[in-house]
Amino acid sequence: MKLVKATKARLVFELGQREKRSLPQILKLYPCVPSAHHVLSKSGWLRDAVANQQLLDEALAEQRAENKKQVQALLADPRRFEHTETGVRLSLSPTDLEWLMQVLNDIRVGSWVILGSPDKKPAELTSANAAHFLAMEMAGYFQMQLLEALRCET
């Protein structure tokens, strides 16, 4: 994945065949961070903690539903993906790019949480954890490519 064109209104990325197949598969995993992972306070010293936690949960559920719709719209929009001989060109506005980074971060962090928040690669890759490890690594890969493009653009 590399940045091939950048204007103030649009960033265009070239994705190879593997990236073309991987990005939609990774994005379809959203949301990935378990709902119970987000708590207002770990100490429990908040007024109306239960009611406030419920408000947070509702807000997060709404945000996740909206992001899920946006993921589906992005993947279904033929104007976003221009097919080339070597893969596709993905066109994003700066706002889209920031949103995509947040979605990818949810997938990366969520996969990490599901894996037990390991400091390094799990001791043993199994059929149960390999998909989460791959999702974590691929989401991180796409994030790094997008960040590199932003660094080069400025």
β pairing state of 2-6 and 87-92: unpaired
In the prediction, which pLDDT does 92 show? 95
**Which strand (E) or helix (H) includes residue 60?**
helix 49-76
Separation of alpha carbons 90 and 87, rounded Å:
10
In the prediction, which pLDDT does 145 show? 93
In the prediction, which pLDDT does 46 show? 66
DSSP label of 34: -
In the prediction, which pLDDT does 37 show? 67
Helix (H, G, I), strand (E, B) or coil at 55: helix
For residues 1 and 15, is the Cβ–Cβ distance under 8 A?
yes
The pTM for the full model equals 0.87
For residues 53 and 35, is the Cβ–Cβ distance under 8 A?
no
In the prediction, which pLDDT does 51 show? 82
In the prediction, which pLDDT does 121 show? 72
For residues 11 and 154, is the Cβ–Cβ distance under 8 A?
no
In the prediction, which pLDDT does 128 show? 85
Over the chain (154 residues), the average pLDDT of each successive run of 10 is 92 95 96 76 68 85 95 94 93 95 96 88 82 94 91 68
For residues 4 and 149, is the Cβ–Cβ distance under 8 A?
no
